[in-house]
Amino acid sequence: MEASVGDILIVGAGIAGLTTSLGLHRLGIRSLVLESSDTLRETGFAFTTWNNAWKALDVLGIGDSLRQPHQQLQGMVVTSTISRQPPSERSLKSEGKLSEREIRCVRRKLLLEALVRELPIGTIRFSSKVVSVEESGYFKLVHLADGSILKTKDEFRRIEMGLNKFAKERRWRSFQLISTAYVVGFIHESKGKIMTFLRDKILPAFLTGVLIKRADFDCGELSILNATASV
């Protein structure tokens, strides 16, 4: 059975899929989210959200509802589990480049539920596992495990152009993230007196500074589908 469902299909009702759907909804664009399980799934318990994450949540209109059940973190402690050296402490109360720092540990379940509450009824289609995608002229035919077929417009090229432009403008940030992760991993896995000194004395303070700097980064705007969204 073939059904036409509109312009946008999103595969997966996780944080990324639901956030994308809600962002489109705020812009007046309808979408359908396909989820293979019969209910929302949680992977992990919680994660830390920094300034730029809260900026995105505010744009989506769910920031205030998530602030209430999650206390703001006032500082962080980094220590080595290998040498048991005294921990390095860093306050998070000072102001960042964008605004006063806001760092909270958010429960995944509450975030998913907040996203779902803001979406129109019928946006999420459960028990809908995608098995293949077929091209058919200007359309895409999405085949589901239950034998049904969803027909949607092929907007891939336009979306790809927007994402490529966004990525090109932020290449240096990508390089920073990758190079920092590589150096930190190399120091953690290395042995010897020099590497031990770096890991126990220098790395904890360096990591706290890196996290705070990344949280102050303004991600800018992403233009896709003739609309502009702050991310």
Q: Say if 195 falls within a structural domain.
A: yes
Report residue 27 as tokens. 């812009």
For the four alpha carbons of 43, 44, 48 and 54, in that order, the dihedral sign comes to positive
User: Where in the sequence is the domain holding 72, given as residue range(s)?
Assistant: 2-220
Q: What's the full length of the chain, in residues?
A: 231
User: What was the pLDDT predicted at 202?
Assistant: 75
What per-residue confidence (pLDDT) applies to 77? 73
Examine residue 225 and state whether it is found in any structural domain, yes or no. no
Say whether pLDDT at 85 is over 70: no
| CATH code of the domain covering residue 145 | 3.50.50.60
The CA distance from 144 to 118, in Å, is 26
Q: pLDDT value at position 55?
A: 86
Q: What is the pLDDT of residues 123-179, one digit of tens each?
A: 999 999 999 988 888 788 899 999 988 988 766 666 677 777 767 767 777 777 778
Task: Assess whether pLDDT exceeds 90 at residue 18.
Answer: yes
Residue 44 lies in a domain: yes
| pLDDT of the residue at 180 | 75
Query: In this model, does residue 12 exceed pLDDT 80?
Result: yes
Scan for tokens 């962080």, then name that residue.
76
Compute, in degrees rounded to 10, the torsion defined by CA atoms 62, 118, 21, 137.
-160
Does residue 64 fall inside a structural domain? yes
Task: Say which residue, 89 or 145, is predicted with more confidence.
Answer: 145
Q: Is there a contact between 38 and 15 (Cβ–Cβ < 8 Å)?
A: no
- pLDDT, averaged across the chain: 79
Q: Residue 59 domain-assigned?
A: yes
Q: How many folded domains does the chain comprise?
A: 1
How many C-beta neighbours within 10 Å does residue 131 have? 11
**Locate tokens 């975030």: which residue?**
111
Cα gap 153→133, rounded to integer Å: 12
> Is residue 36's pLDDT more than 60?
yes
Q: Is the pLDDT of residue 6 over 70?
A: no
The pLDDT of residue 94: 62
- DSSP single-letter state for residue 119: S
Of 38-42, 97-101, 116-120, which one has max mean pLDDT?
116-120
At residue 21, does pLDDT exceed 90? yes
* Residue 231 forms part of a structural domain: no
Distance CA 144, CA 147 (A): 6
| Closest listed residue to residue 213, CA positions, set 184, 186, 177 | 177
In angstroms, rounded to a whole number, what is the distance separating the alpha carbons of residues 163 and 229? 12
The predicted-structure confidence for 195-230, as pLDDT tens digits, reads as follows: 777 777 777 667 767 767 766 666 665 554 444 444
**Residue 184: its pLDDT value, please?**
73
| Residue-level pLDDT at 228 | 42
- Residue 226: the pLDDT is 46
Distance CA 40, CA 108 (A): 11
**What is the per-residue pLDDT for 138?**
79
Q: Which of 24-33, 72-81, 115-124 has the weakest average pLDDT?
A: 72-81
Q: Which amino acid is at 14?
A: G
Supply the pTM of this predicted model. Answer: 0.74
Tokens 């589908």 sit on residue: 225
Asked if residue 228 is part of any domain, the answer here is no
Residue type, 134: E
Model pLDDT, residue 190: 76
Cβ atoms within 10 Å of 133's Cβ, excluding its own: 13
SS3 content of the chain, % helix, strand, coil (to 5): 40, 25, 35
pLDDT at residue 231, as a whole number: 39
For residues 68 and 7, the model is more confident at 68
**Residue 120 maps to a domain:** yes
How many Cβ atoms sit within 10 Å of the Cβ of residue 88?
19
